[in-house]
Amino acid sequence: MTGTPAPVPARATVGIVGGGPAGLLLARLLHQAGVDCVVLESRDRAYVEQRQRAGILEQGTVDALRSSGAGERLDREGLAHDGIELRWDRRAQRVDFPSLTGGHRVWVYAQTEVVKDLVALQLRDGAPLLFDARVSSVTGAGTDRPVIHYAHGGADHTVVCDYVVGCDGFHGVTRKAVPEGELRTVGRSYPYSWLGILADVAPSNEELVYAHSPRGFALLSMRSPAVSRLYLQVPNGTDPAAWTDERIWDELDARFAVDADWTLARGPITQKSVLPMRSSVTEPMRWGRVLLAGDAAHIVPPAGAKGLNLAASDAIVLARAFGQLARTGSTAGLDAYSDTCLRRVWRAEHFSWFMTTTLHTAPDQPAFDTRLQYSQLDRIAASPHAAAELARNYVGMPVG
């Protein structure tokens, strides 16, 4: 491991709870803007760097990573994708991004790698980033000196901040710093989960394949030219151990089946996990001197590939706002933070819900609903307007 974290000061302009993509990118952008901050992360470095999650980066996310100095490996190893394939009713239809969006595309570069790159840069620059530091609470949200309380190395510590940003994910503690009734959370769950696998086999398609099947949804994605990432819709509560490798490949084969000639290449499965699906938004994303960013404020089901990108756009908007405060003394950017982000968040929520409900088959789904899904997918195939609507949402809205 290179670099040693700087000692965590007892005082910071911005205290960041959580060292996932939102917290790390924010810290990186603040460091560059000359705003001092600390990041407190409850897990160890290896855990954070290996947590298998998102794979798709929008242009705005890529631009922010490049300008934060974390674009070098992404530019070398990331795979630019100009489209996705949709499959349903044994048909396939490609959606071309550049022609439908005025030249935009997305990148395949795993969240694990984004996190590794950001951690390495912070440590290289000696910026305060502490692992194994579990935040127990944030107090004084309504004062001008909120305090983060955390445990590290068997002792309790505090950091007194000007602002605290909760980047601590859906189960984080920062949200609890806000008095009851001041924030409103709305959301929904879905009657299915995803079984995700990593396999040591070259991806069977150059682009991602999103497949509707009466047997359930399936997604073909990738991590590199030699590693495939695949997902299967499974019932909630599924134990991944109940799925043998052979059963997984057979089921994927059945769900991706099209009339055209196509073979799904099989390989050794190196990882299996099940993830539940939910949508949730907490509003506003700021109260007093406490702000929420990323999954701490909003969750999307993964079929729209938006979670990591929303975390990045929150961090970008926040870093600009703190930069403005440092340069001019104006809190205008911070005051507008929640409204600015929520417009984008709600668009992503709608798109993620749309992709989820259009492509999955609910338990006991009426045949009527399946015909509606086919009609929607037929429309995307037949109408450049409908295809462009999907493509524009997939490549993402401009940040800000």
Contact residues toward ligand PHB (CB under 6 A) are 54-56, 208, 221, 229, 302-303, 305
Closest to ligand PHB by CB, 193 vs 221, is 221
Listing DSSP states for 170-225 in one string gives: TT-SGGGGSPTTSSEEEEEEEEEEEEEEEESS--SSSSEEEE--TT--EEEEEEET
Q: What are the C-alpha distances in Å from 284 to residues 162, 260, 291, 342, 344?
A: 19, 49, 9, 8, 13
Residue 351 beta carbon to ligand PHB: minimum distance, rounded to whole angstroms: 11
Site string for ligand RFL, 194-223 (x = CB under 6 A): --x---------------------------
Question: Which is nearest to 53 in space by CA: 366, 305, 376, 353?
Answer: 305
Catalytic one of 210, 212, 298, 301: 210
Residues 138-167 binding ligand RFL (CB under 6 A) are 167
Annotated catalytic residue 210 = yes
Taking residue 103's Cβ as centre, other Cβ atoms within 10 Å add up to 11
Residue 317 beta carbon to ligand PHB: minimum distance, rounded to whole angstroms: 23
One-letter amino acid for residue 27 of the chain: A
Please give the Cα distance from 79 to 120 (Å, whole number).
21
Q: First-to-last CA distance in the chain?
A: 36
Q: Which part of the chain contacts ligand RFL (CB under 6 A), choosing from 93-101, 123-131, 169-177, 362-370? A: 169-177
Residue 59 beta carbon to ligand PHB: minimum distance, rounded to whole angstroms: 16
Residue 374 beta carbon to ligand RFL: minimum distance, rounded to whole angstroms: 25
The partner in contact with residue 15, picked from ligand RFL, ligand PHB, none with C-beta cut-offs of 5 to 8 angstroms by kind, is: none
Number of residues that bind ligand RFL (CB under 6 A): 35
Residue 291 beta carbon to ligand PHB: minimum distance, rounded to whole angstroms: 27
Catalytic one of 104, 212, 306, 360: 306
Say if residues 214 and 361 touch (Cβ distance below 8 Å): yes
Closest to ligand PHB by CB, 211 vs 321, is 211
Please give the Cα distance from 164 to 146 (Å, whole number).
7
Candidate list 74, 110, 135, 387; residue touching ligand RFL; CB under 6 A: 135
Residues 46-105 binding ligand RFL (CB under 6 A) are 48, 53-56
| Secondary structure (3-state) at 394 | helix
Question: Which is nearest to 327 in space by CA: 121, 30, 128?
Answer: 30
Question: Which is nearest to 55 in space by CA: 237, 194, 171, 149?
Answer: 194
Annotated catalytic residue 394 = yes
Catalytic one of 21, 31, 81, 104: 81
Closest to ligand PHB by CB, 148 vs 222, is 222
Taking residue 40's Cβ as centre, other Cβ atoms within 10 Å add up to 28
Q: Which part of the chain contacts ligand RFL (CB under 6 A), choosing from 15-23, 234-242, 249-257, 365-373? A: 15-23
Q: In this structure, what token pair is assigned to residue 41?
A: 């992360």
Annotated catalytic residue 81 = yes
Say if residues 232 and 194 touch (Cβ distance below 8 Å): yes
Please give the Cα distance from 210 to 86 (Å, whole number).
5
272 binds ligand RFL, rule: CB under 6 A: no
Active-site positions read 81, 210, 302, 306, 394
Residues that bind ligand RFL (CB under 6 A): 17-23, 40-43, 48, 53-56, 111, 134-135, 167-169, 172-173, 196, 275, 294-295, 302, 305-309, 311
